[in-house]
Structure 1
């Protein structure tokens, strides 16, 4: 494996700029994303209001109050991953970040499969984000319970709740698809507004709940609320799925790098800020909810989650007002995930790596966005919802499956990165360089191998944990074997389908596929003005 290259461009006035041409592309996407919008892309993908509200009951139901401690553990593991991604984002600020980084580190074949898994995982994540509307909207107004009427059970695990979740999710996808195709400025503005509302909502919610405690912080030292039997270790691992579901997608800032101003400087910072802000805010939100819950033992906290805590402790008016903030966060989250997935699809398509690539890799001259890719991601998410319309485990099954796919794709980057570091440990593993301001690129330095190794170990363990065939996650019927094993089966079938397409395409276009993708084309000599690593 050759050592990856890094190049950047220097203007005559001495300032360093970044353009797609520096990494082998013609600039087609429009740069309309600033520092806050870049942060918002990662923060809204994580979206602690959306996912904590959606999945709090799941974590509490599995592990009781002590499930709180899974949050800092998962945060520590994901921070190791984010540090690795920050280094790569500084060196290759390109749309389709996970695919592009993997291709440069492990070769085009490994990169293609990593990108394939990432696209499928992102489409499923869009679907999982969209159905979070069911955890919020009926609590604001019973009229949002369209299936069965206002008197029907809105719980996502009930038949009427599950079907209504699909309906609300599909309606939300229509809105986010329209916003996505309007242009990156509109998308960035909507995401930034959603994140602003979300941050304000988190701060207000945490402060209000902390002022209404029913118990002290020592509650998280016990497994109160856990109704399981036998050892607690298995329950603790299962409850960690909630935190694992939430703290992904911080790499979305990398997906928008080609549309971000000064991406070599901005993107690494926003990746880390998005995760750290989400980690701190989420921990406070979970703790506040546990302390303010009216009861930890009557089963209502596991069934109703934080929505129940809000409406019970704050009353109808204030509780619904805060739920409106959560609804805005759900919209911003769905929008951000769809934007990220569309850029991943576009990035692979412009290299001819996907079916119908001429359409998927096309950027609208009017809006400057990959319109077809945005529509396909939205339609794919809607299909994922519709085929599960009668599955009462749709919330937990979709969430586990999509995050398992994302963790697997992340491994497709961190594992070859570790190999690259070890092979080139004498020179630091990754090339150096400067950002748009002339400062050295973000780097872990000598700590890189240790951080990277721990990140790979964490990701491997969590991927197994996510895909483990737990009937309470994948099969609420308790008797359908293929539902229980749906995660490994779906991952295996996805890889098999990808391998089939890849092999057929290679045989059909034997000579043409011997080309080196654009990601590996050397830039023109005049672009190579910054001192390169030895």
Structure 2
């Protein structure tokens, strides 16, 4: 039996945990390991390095590794801000309910719309980046048609796994987490310790990528190497109503996701680069699949095959985590009557999963996969749009938190930054604005106008279509969910906590 969760009481129940075990609500069965695993496999350092190591090396040479450090530091600031917000509002959907409670329904609608579109494209990008690794695993080079079949197959496999329920989702995320650790840390460290062919000095050598131009220009072009990897920690908050003690567990899981992502991503990037027998050929773009080539040269076919199994497992887990996060966003959006067909999209099955929202989270990326099949050269541009859209949504939440702080908001969740919160919030916003400006920079001047400005154009189309729908349908008027109440809720939480402490002291 399936029942719809209405917006009138769902968030109050999610804060108190009163619905645990009730079939018409999510079941809290995820602990800190499962929550960390979900965020880590969404962030997926192995996927990021495997997908964008060639781009980073060909664009800016080995120094492109420093983008991992720069972006991780900036995203850690964002994760700290998110941690305070989710601790006060441990609500399914993450970005959307946070924006609504910090600012208002209209603001939250456009934030969620951009985030939803960017998530769909991100899932497509990860599925497409997995195609050559699946082909290498089975010993063939996929044709465009086979690539479409593989990408769609990965999306369907993730759908089947997540339909099984929250426990299965947590278990698969855990497997993906171990695969990531094995793939990026174990392989990276092995190569670093036993198969070095290059010195650490290469990470300060452009190796000809600047071609006489100021190096900072080509270095900025390689920013996607880090920017693509370090988001996904917010997925820990997307499943807040399925996590035990979310006010404490989720902030810690977000922070650990970024820290572990940096450690494992750097281990893989540095290990593979220093083990490359012919690094210059890779930098010159003469090697189509650098990671597999390096492994073949230094570890032989058996070691390469094991790595490919691990890599494909990580890709599957990453797609699963992405689809799970997207389905919870759609569910949360629909629960507030903010979408067409809100009733079926906000329905939970008997095992506590939003099955209709899950189907949409699988079907929508399939449509984009067909577009990539028709226009195969569009994948890098599609990926850049996805990253920019998600970074914009992040910063809209950071901005909303800072605006509320100027009104006197002091986050009242079980996890808090204390007096440092305001300074960290400002720093996170400054970092995010800089990242967005880098992503919006035009491409190579030799490209056509649309290709040079494709990220900005794509973002304008999404924002424009969202604004048009808002003007026509006025979806925020359908919702009775609370909005803009961060100050009031913080005061209520503090009063309740003080009362509980007084009772405890008397007892």
Q: How many angstroms does 1:312 deviate by?
A: 2.2
Inter-partner Cα distance in structure 1 for 2:235 and 2:479: 29
Inter-partner Cα distance in structure 2 for 1:301 and 1:264: 49
Q: 1:502 aligns with which of 447, 467, 470?
A: 470
Residues 379-410 of structure 1, C-alpha deviation per residue, up to 9 Å, x if partnerless?
11010110121323343122211111100110
Q: 2:246 corresponds to which residue? A: 263
Q: 1:153 corresponds to which residue? A: none
Q: 2:273 corresponds to which residue? A: 290
Inter-partner Cα distance in structure 2 for 1:135 and 1:279: 25
How do residues 371-382 of structure 1 correspond to structure 2 at under 5 angstroms? 371-382=355-366
1:93 partner SS: coil
How do residues 118-517 of structure 1 correspond to structure 2 at under 5 angstroms? 118-143=115-140, 145-147=141-143, 160=144, 163-210=145-192, 211-224=194-207, 226=209, 228-298=211-281, 299=284, 303-365=288-350, 367-424=351-408, 429-433=409-413, 441-471=414-444, 479-506=447-474, 513=477, 516-517=480-481
- Pairwise CA RMSD: 2.8
Inter-partner Cα distance in structure 2 for 1:376 and 1:77: 32
Q: 1:531 corresponds to which residue? A: 498
Residues 423-456 of structure 1, C-alpha deviation per residue, up to 9 Å, x if partnerless?
31xxxx32325xxxxxxx2212221122111111
Q: How many angstroms does 1:531 deviate by?
A: 3.1
**Alpha carbons of structure 1 residues 67 and 515: separation in structure 2 relative to 1, 3 Å:** closer
Q: How many angstroms does 1:167 deviate by?
A: 2.6
Which of the pair is proportionally richer in helix?
2
**Alpha carbons of structure 1 residues 101 and 459: separation in structure 2 relative to 1, 3 Å:** same
Residue-pair matches, total: 482
Following TM superposition, where does structure 1 have runs of at least 4 consecutive aligned residues deviating by more than 6 angstroms? 520-523, 525-528
Q: 1:155 corresponds to which residue? A: none
2:219 partner SS: helix
Q: How many angstroms does 1:168 deviate by?
A: 1.3
Residues 247-297 of structure 1, C-alpha deviation per residue, up to 9 Å, x if partnerless?
111110000110011111111110111111011111121111111111221
Q: For the Cα contact (< 8 Å) 2:84–2:411, is it kept in 1? A: no
Q: How many angstroms does 1:123 deviate by?
A: 0.9
In the alignment, is residue 19 of structure 1 matched against residue 17 of structure 2? yes
Inter-partner Cα distance in structure 2 for 1:492 and 1:532: 49
Q: How many angstroms does 1:26 deviate by?
A: 11
Return the TM-score normalized by structure 1.
0.84
Q: How many angstroms does 1:165 deviate by?
A: 3.3
Q: For the Cα contact (< 8 Å) 2:34–2:171, is it kept in 1? A: yes
Q: How many angstroms does 1:519 deviate by?
A: 5.8
Q: How many angstroms does 1:311 deviate by?
A: 2.1
How do residues 43-62 of structure 1 correspond to structure 2 at under 5 angstroms? 43-62=40-59
Inter-partner Cα distance in structure 2 for 1:122 and 1:338: 8
Q: For the Cα contact (< 8 Å) 1:63–1:223, is it kept in 2? A: yes
Inter-partner Cα distance in structure 2 for 1:8 and 1:301: 57
Q: 1:38 corresponds to which residue? A: 35
Which stretch of the first structure deviates more once superposed, 349-358 or 219-228?
219-228
